[in-house]
Structure 1
Amino acid sequence: MGVPKRIKRYEGQHALVDGIPYVMPINCVDSPALFAGFQINADKARAFLPGNELHPFRLWNGKGLLLITVINYLETSIGKYIEFSVAIACTHGRKPAPRLLPGLMMGFYGTGQYVVDLPVSSEISVKGGKGIWGMPKHQANLDYEITDDTVSSQYEKDGQFAMRIEIDRPSRAWIPFNIGATNYCQFRNMLFASYIYFKGKAGFHLFNSANARLYIGDHPRTAPLRELEIDGDAILTAFIPEANGILDDHFDTWFLTYDEAPETMPEGMESVVDLGLSEEWLASPSITDYQQFKI
């Protein structure tokens, strides 16, 4: 799926939202990205999805899919930052979709990912990502390391270990891709859907060759993920040395509905109105005794 022509016509135009200046289109350039997918208990994944309108995507065996994506944004409209996405593959509609088919008919089934957690490096990224697109961004201690053999990222917050992902680096990135993706997020107790288009060249590992190590700590933002019964063996890993992405010029929002009246209110505008435009990062992660948290 290529970038819509209307977005390309915005090139070089300017926008100003919540005090954040943007040069359109909102994009990233030549930024390395890692990706890993793990099988999970789809029935338990349903409890992580808000409202009645999202449903876990199911693989051929009825399992769900946990998606870890980390992008080291080297050049964007709001400066450099790392983004560590923890998400559950899902569909959007009145009822659950059949197995696998939503992977082929993504538009029909509203196939995408529900973002459970989204730590980032900078305050300005939190202000823009949450305040405009409803993404569950918050500032955390993050790193992104590339060696000859591995690609990894670690996530800490408030002095606590939260998560670490390591994948074996593919020998080369030669498969060209040009895809669109849908991110679903909960903000103000509404469902937000934003759309992004990526292109580049990737190296993949599948099934038995998809070697990854996932570590989940005791931080309250990540510890509940253990309830998903995550399979320690990834079914897919990928590394994109130079990803180029464009964020769509619009997003969709819906009311979330529940069988019973909600008793608590999730994060709302109060969590972003006082944020500034700082591009400064928190200190790099420093915890090294994470082996005990391996999935």
Structure 2
Amino acid sequence: MASHLIQGRTVEMPVRIRDATVCTAAYAVRADSARAVLAYSGLDVAEFLPGKAVCMLVFVDYRDGDLDTYHEFGVTFLVRPPGVKATPGLSDIRNAGAFVHWLPVDQGFTLSAGRGIWGFPKELAEIDLRLASPYKRCIVRKDGRMVVDLLLRPGLPMPGGSGLMPVTAYTHQDGVTRTVPARASFAGARVRPGGALIRLGNHPVAKELSELGLPKRALFTSVTGHAAAEFGEATVWDGAAWEGA
């Protein structure tokens, strides 16, 4: 079984998350603006309509997992797998994975593990999660500056999935693009169209989000009370094929 030594601790693969709350707001953004943001990665956005890409803001409360307990906020984009031709519409979205562009966390161990094992762009930030009421709120501050204040309204309950479903994430660190295979299950999910209130601060990431057209109405929001997942070994894209990391 593969393993990694992180801060003197052995992390066995796959890494397992046994219980977490996951909150997501998905936004339609200009595809050309999203491409400019992701130009460093060599990946291209998926388009659900011609000229329209999807940016997802995600905040997570990890309560039980191999990387300890912590809070996380993510800025992600739906992207096409490398080498796949653009076909705007449902086929583009159906084959898309999630490229993780920015991923602040509030604990050092998960930061080291995320960067060292998969190349996730984790960095330390102040993440204030308020999950006790039906309204779920996340406030992110970095370097003493507010980045984002995101509030999600409750939606309608959705049936839970049966078992772990495959999910693909992409990362880029130090000039290297990786794919991260994962499987996830969701119980207690509530979904609705719209449902988000967002306020941006004066941090550079907030400016980047504003250049994508935020704040605006979300396509949809979701809140999952009990999510579980496992993450496998990353593979590296060499420009032609995926290789073992």
Shorter-chain TM band: 0.7 to 0.9
Between structure 1 and structure 2, the one with the greater Rg is 1
Please name the residue that 1:155 is paired with. Answer: 140
Which aligned pairs between 1:179-198 and structure 2 lie closer than 5 A? 179-198=165-184
Q: Percent identity?
A: 22
- 1:131 corresponds, among 100, 116, 133, to 116
Please name the residue that 2:78 is paired with. Answer: 89
Which aligned pairs between 1:112-261 and structure 2 lie closer than 5 A? 112-176=97-161, 178-201=164-187, 202-206=189-193, 210-230=194-214, 232-248=216-232, 250-255=233-238
What is the count of residue pairs matched by the alignment?
236
Please name the residue that 2:57 is paired with. Answer: 68
Q: CA shift at 1:137, angstroms?
A: 0.1
- 1:101 corresponds, among 82, 87, 91, to 91
Please name the residue that 1:17 is paired with. Answer: 5
For the residue of structure 2 that corresponds to 1:234, the secondary structure is coil
- The one-letter code sitting in structure 1 at the alignment partner of 2:231 is L
TM normalised by structure 2 equals: 0.87
Distance 2:158 2:215 in 1: 26
Distance 1:113 1:50 in 2: 15
Deviation readout 1:162-194 (Å, 9 max, x if unpaired): 112211022545443643222212111111111
Please tell me whether the aligned partners of residues 48 and 92 of structure 2 are also in contact (alpha carbons under 8 angstroms). Answer: no
Instruction: Tell me which protein shows more strand as a share of its residues.
Output: 2
CA 1:98–1:132 in structure 2 vs 1: closer, same or farther (change >3 Å)? Answer: same
Please tell me whether the aligned partners of residues 156 and 191 of structure 2 are also in contact (alpha carbons under 8 angstroms). Answer: no
Please name the residue that 1:286 is paired with. Answer: none
Q: CA shift at 1:226, angstroms?
A: 1.5
Distance 1:236 1:179 in 2: 21
For the residue of structure 1 that corresponds to 2:161, the secondary structure is strand
CA 1:98–1:52 in structure 2 vs 1: closer, same or farther (change >3 Å)? Answer: farther
- The one-letter code sitting in structure 1 at the alignment partner of 2:47 is R
- Kindly report the root-mean-square deviation, in angstroms, between the aligned alpha carbons of the 2 structures: 2.2
Runs (5+) with no aligned partner, structure 1 = 1-9, 258-295
Distance 1:156 1:145 in 2: 14
Please tell me whether the aligned partners of residues 19 and 65 of structure 2 are also in contact (alpha carbons under 8 angstroms). Answer: no
Q: CA shift at 1:78, angstroms?
A: 2.1
Deviation readout 1:183-218 (Å, 9 max, x if unpaired): 212111111111221102211113xxx210122211
For the residue of structure 1 that corresponds to 2:64, the secondary structure is coil
CA 1:50–1:191 in structure 2 vs 1: closer, same or farther (change >3 Å)? Answer: farther
Please name the residue that 1:279 is paired with. Answer: none
Please tell me whether the aligned partners of residues 175 and 203 of structure 1 are also in contact (alpha carbons under 8 angstroms). Answer: no
Q: CA shift at 1:15, angstroms?
A: 3.3
Please tell me whether the aligned partners of residues 100 and 169 of structure 2 are also in contact (alpha carbons under 8 angstroms). Answer: yes
Distance 2:150 2:134 in 1: 14
Deviation readout 1:201-255 (Å, 9 max, x if unpaired): 211113xxx210122211123322211123611111111001011112x111124
TM normalised by structure 1 equals: 0.73
Runs (5+) with no aligned partner, structure 2 = 241-245
Matched, 1:30 2:19: yes
CA 1:145–1:171 in structure 2 vs 1: closer, same or farther (change >3 Å)? Answer: farther
